[in-house]
Structures are given as C-alpha cells and as structure tokens.
Amino acid sequence: MLTARENLEKKLQSVAYLPTMPQVLLQVERALKQEKTAAGRIASIVREDPALTTSILRVANSVIYRGKLSSRISSIPQAVARLGFTEVRRICMTSALIRAFEDYGHGINHAEFWKHSVTVATATRIFQKYTDKPGLLQTDEMEDAFVAGLLHDVGILAMDQFFPDLLAEVRSYAESEIIPLARAENEILGIHHGEVGGMLLANWNLPDRVVEAVTWHHDPDRAGKTNRLVTQMVHLADFICVNQSIGQTLEGLYDGFSEGAWYDLGLSVDEVPQMLDDLKEEAERSEVVGGTA
C-alpha cells in the first residue's frame, strides 16, 4: 500500500505540469551572458513583450529607483542605463515568472503571495552586505538565491492548483494545532511544499542550487554542501519575512531558524536591527518590482 507521500508523488507525476519557461526570459538570459551585450540589444528583446516593457519603465521611473529629482524616461535603453543589467534581469525574471504562474492557485491571494516571494528574493542581497566573510557569496550564488527566493513557495501554488482539498485539510490542521504549514504537511503527507516545488522545478532545468534551495528552504541543513549557502540565504530571508509579516503565503510562523545558516553566512546578532531596517527598504523595492506598489 502506498504511503501518503508516495501517493502524492504519483499524482503529481500524472497531473502536474509547469508552464514553459517564458521565451523572452530565455532570450534576455542568453543576451546578458554575452560579454559585449549593449542596452540596445536588451531593448530589442524587451520591446517584443509589451507587458515586460511596461514593467521595466514603471520600475525605472519609480521614486525608489530614480529619486525625486531625476527626470522621467520613456525608452528601454534609458531604463537599462539607469537600472543596470543586473536589476533589469531581476525585473524580467520577476515579471515573467509572476505571469507564468498567474493561472495557478485560485484559492490564494496572488498579490500577497508574490509580495512575500519577491521580498524574500530581494532580501537575500542583505546577507552579502552583512557577512563577515568577504568573498563568501559570489555573483552567481546571489543571482541563484534571487531566483530561488522568487520560487521558494511555488509548491503551495501547485498544491492549491492540483490538490485544493488536501491543502485545505493540511491548513485546517496547521491552524488547529497552531503549527507551521510545512510541519503540518510533513505530519499528514510526509512531504512539504518545498519538496513539491523542487520536484516540479526540476523539469525546468534550473540550476541545481535553485532547485535544492526551493526544496529545502525550511530545512537548509539537508541541502548538499555545494548548494547549501544559497539554500541558507533563502531560508533566512523567508524566516525574517514571515516573522515580519511581509505578504501572506499560508506558511504560518516558523518553528525557528537554522543557527548553522546564521553561522555559515557570517552574520552577527549585533547587526539584526540594521538588517531589519534594510529589509523594510527591500520590501518597498519588492512592491515596485512585483507591481504591487
């Protein structure tokens, strides 16, 4: 007889699917990997996607990015020059992924879900600023942490999409027992939404660090050693955002956070007040990037 976990995995394999990776995102990714990419090349790709063009111009003209004195701009090359390639990539990633999953999870408040997810993604940059281990966090790891932060709760969307009654049962149990959603999922199903998300994202051929970070964002000590730093960043960013009540993803409060993650990332308790202040700024930034401002 199949266990609850085995039964869920079997059902996921038969009915669950992900939307295809947005083509515009793949084109932008390829262009940005070329050493001599110019703003004009990015502009020519983005112009083919009106929604993405609108998103980039909106962000570039927001007060948080242009300040109060800079003039408004109306072209993508100008926006790329103002924002920089890294920020443009993140805006493209955010806009494309939110749209890719717009038909998932009808029982979930998408505005609040993505507010939380984008804030977790942007909050991962805090750790590079406050680590006492210079050179620990490399550019590739930071970018993977951003993507994993965006997608860390996609398993909840999938559960609501394909197994809404099961998710409702788990939520009810979590609320009655006053425990986190992930723990309730483990107790009832033997699998939690991080693992569900990781199973699905593996089909997108994303980097192993991203898939593993999504899978183990509630239990970063289970991530492989080579991928653990990214998982730890997503874990701590999620923990902080949940406990600061930024957005709503049904997760409930964490049981606690990984002390190992705190140590491995070279963070100091003395810096916590300033980190929380920075998080508030990242929350404002995420509302602009995610389109909820």
pLDDT tens, position by position, 167-204: 999 999 999 998 999 999 999 999 999 999 998 888 77
Q: Note whether 34 and 91 are same-domain residues.
A: yes
Q: Note whether 274 and 158 are same-domain residues.
A: yes
Q: Note whether 9 and 47 are same-domain residues.
A: no
pLDDT tens, position by position, 61-73: 888 887 765 788 8
Q: Note whether 119 and 34 are same-domain residues.
A: no
Q: Note whether 26 and 112 are same-domain residues.
A: no
* Domain of 81, in residue numbers: 20-100
- Give me the CATH number covering residue 168: 1.10.3210.10
Q: How confident is the model at residue 88 (pLDDT cuts 50, 70, 90)?
A: confident
Q: Which helix (DSSP H) or strand (DSSP E) does residue 234 occupy?
A: helix 228-243
Structural domain tally of the chain?
2
Which residue, 192, 186, 191, 114, is CA-closest to 150? Answer: 114
pLDDT the model gives residue 265: 92
Return d(Cα 33, Cα 7) in angstroms, integer.
Answer: 41
Q: Note whether 112 and 244 are same-domain residues.
A: yes
Mark which of 100, 123, 152 sits at the end of a domain: 100
Tokens of 59: 């962000």
Alpha helices in 39-138 (DSSP H): 39-46, 50-60, 63-66, 76-83, 85-100, 110-123, 125-130
Helices 228-243 and 208-215: crossing angle in degrees, nearest 10, is: 40
Tokens of 57: 């111009």
**Cβ atoms within 10 A of the Cβ of 214, count?**
31
Mark which of 81, 100, 119 sits at the end of a domain: 100
Q: Note whether 133 and 94 are same-domain residues.
A: no
pLDDT the model gives residue 282: 79
Q: Note whether 64 and 199 are same-domain residues.
A: no
Count Cα neighbours of 129 within 13 Å in the Cβ-side half-sphere: 13
pLDDT tens, position by position, 251-280: 777 777 888 899 999 998 888 889 888 888
Return d(Cα 94, Cα 59) in angstroms, integer.
Answer: 12
**Cβ atoms within 10 A of the Cβ of 281, count?**
13
Indicate the pTM of the whole model.
0.88
Mark which of 68, 84, 100 sits at the end of a domain: 100
Q: Note whether 119 and 240 are same-domain residues.
A: yes
Section 13-38 average pLDDT: 68
Q: Note whether 64 and 116 are same-domain residues.
A: no
Q: Note whether 157 and 126 are same-domain residues.
A: yes
Q: Note whether 45 and 12 are same-domain residues.
A: no
